[in-house]
Amino acid sequence: MKLISAIVCSAAVGTSFLLPGTASAAQVRCASENGADVTLIEGRAGCRASSDASGQAHAAGLDGVGYASAAAGARALGIGAAGGVGVSEGSTGIPIALGYGSDAVARTTITAADPARPLAVTVALDGSRAQVRTEAGEVICLGTAALAWDAATGRGCLATPFGRWLTSDAPSAQPASE
């Protein structure tokens, strides 16, 4: 009897590995306009979007955490996926942040009031860090897969497994590569 039970149990376990299963990932989306502040958490995903009366913020968490904050007419987008965190904050301009993969953090901040609507983008993958700030300060890429770029100044950085590259509007301020 024990032999038959073992065979049936083994067959059931083997069948469970062979049959297709449904994958489920927690997904949440937050949007904010006209001064709203929206927070959603579901399983391993979370998002928060906040804005003032003139900003628009959109955030998404896909098994990650997305955060977006928009003021003074900014249009912010923050996405966190697969364990990553995307943080996008702006007072004017278009800040975009995408954190994808375990322990990845992308942070974009635009603080200068610039009528040209500056754009800044950060992307961080699998344990890397990317950060842009404005007012001609901070462009940081750490890890093996990070990108940070400030379109208003042209400053940016790229981190890869082969090294880190920086661009600067003032060549004497930072080295071209490390």
As a whole number of angstroms, the distance between CA 90 and CA 157 comes to: 20
Rounded-to-10 torsion of CA 173, 126, 95, 166: 20
pLDDT recorded at residue 154: 87
pLDDT of 69: 95
29-79 tens-digit pLDDT: 999 999 999 999 999 999 999 999 999 999 999 999 999 999 988 899 999
Cα dist from 107 to 2, 46, 91, whole Å: 58, 16, 14
Across 37-46, 118-127, 130-139, least confident range? 130-139
What integer pLDDT is reported at residue 115 of this predicted model? 56
Contacts for 20-23: CB closer than 8 Å, 24+ residues apart: none
Beta bridge partners of 44: none
